[in-house]
Amino acid sequence: MWTCTNNNGVVTAVYHNPPMNYFTAAAIGELDALVESWRDPSVRAVIFTGAIKGKFITHYSVEELAYLAEDHARLGTKESNCSKDYHTFLHKLRDLGKPVISAINGDAMGGGFEFTLFSDIRIMSRGDHRIGLPEVRLGILPGGCGTQQLPRQIGLAKATEFILRGRVVNPETALSLGLVHELADDALVRAQEIAADMITLSAEALNEAKRSIYEGYDMPLRQGLDNESVRFINTMKTAEGLRIMQDYIAVPLAERRDWIDKAR
């Protein structure tokens, strides 16, 4: 289901599950193993995209969900169930400590959209595509992180309205709500451009920055600031960090803004 290529440290993982590109337990299991392999330091960034035109990960297979619902024993216990196990996988993805980008090149609803909420950057292709969380229209709720991650991404009020109405929206509305960071004519091409820039940055700085952001977000402010201080010192102690700062100091004063402006 997943086909991966590695171009100079940028892994592009393409999802292919015809005809609808639904997410499945088998696809998640396969991806879980891939995530472990991407801990290799030679992997500097990961991009996810869909192989079927107009479909990123359309949504989780409702057929699989209905099968589980027919027998409560299949749903698991309080200690281990399909939703909680998926959350564990998502944290493994986040804990990679390197940039993860979703190139949303088509429909991404329900579990497909929830999957992107554990990416650091979401780029969506312009076009007749839909993104959102329609679960309540199916008599369930977003159980793949939606009720927790979306409020953290766009705010409680917007997320509550979005989830309780079971909304799905087009790319332009998604951008206006903050569901995605950017629109592009070709999401994968744009994601590859961003990744190519990010892999020129310090891998240690990116790792520590991600951990400071995500760990600190769930902490009280004072504790989060303490965590930030630890991770800041970690980067200051790296030979790479010192070298880059020294390179910057060597840039003439009048040219320093242009040096930084590359990030635009």
Which residue type is seen at 168?
Answer: V
Residue numbers in the chain where pLDDT is lower than 50: none
Determine the pLDDT at residue 74: 78
User: 3-state DSSP call for residue 4?
Assistant: strand
Q: What is the pTM of this model?
A: 0.94
Nearest by Cα to 88 from 99, 105, 76: 76
DSSP 23-83: B-HHHHHHHHHHHHHTTSTT--EEEEEESBTEEEE--B-HHHHHHHHHSGGGGB-SSSBHH
CB 187 within 8 A of CB 124: yes
Q: Where are the domains of the chain?
A: 2-198, 203-263
CB 9 within 8 A of CB 38: no
What is the chain's length? 264
Determine the pLDDT at residue 263: 60
Determine the pLDDT at residue 83: 87
Determine the pLDDT at residue 236: 96
CB 103 within 8 A of CB 47: yes
Determine the pLDDT at residue 181: 98
Determine the pLDDT at residue 76: 73
Which residue type is seen at 258?
Answer: D
CB 87 within 8 A of CB 32: no
Query: Domain 2-198 classified CATH 3.90.226.10?
Result: yes
Determine the pLDDT at residue 80: 55
Sheet with 106-109: strands ordered across: 54-57, 106-109, 131-132, 168-169
| 128 Cβ neighbours under 8 A, 6+ residues apart | 54, 170
Distance of CA 250 to the CA centre of its chain: 36
Determine the pLDDT at residue 261: 83
**pLDDT tens digits, one per residue of 81-140:** 778 889 999 999 999 999 999 999 999 999 999 999 999 999 999 999 999 999 999 999
Determine the pLDDT at residue 184: 98
Whole-number Cα distances in Å, 8 to 80, 127, 189: 38, 30, 15
Distance of CA 134 to the CA centre of its chain: 19
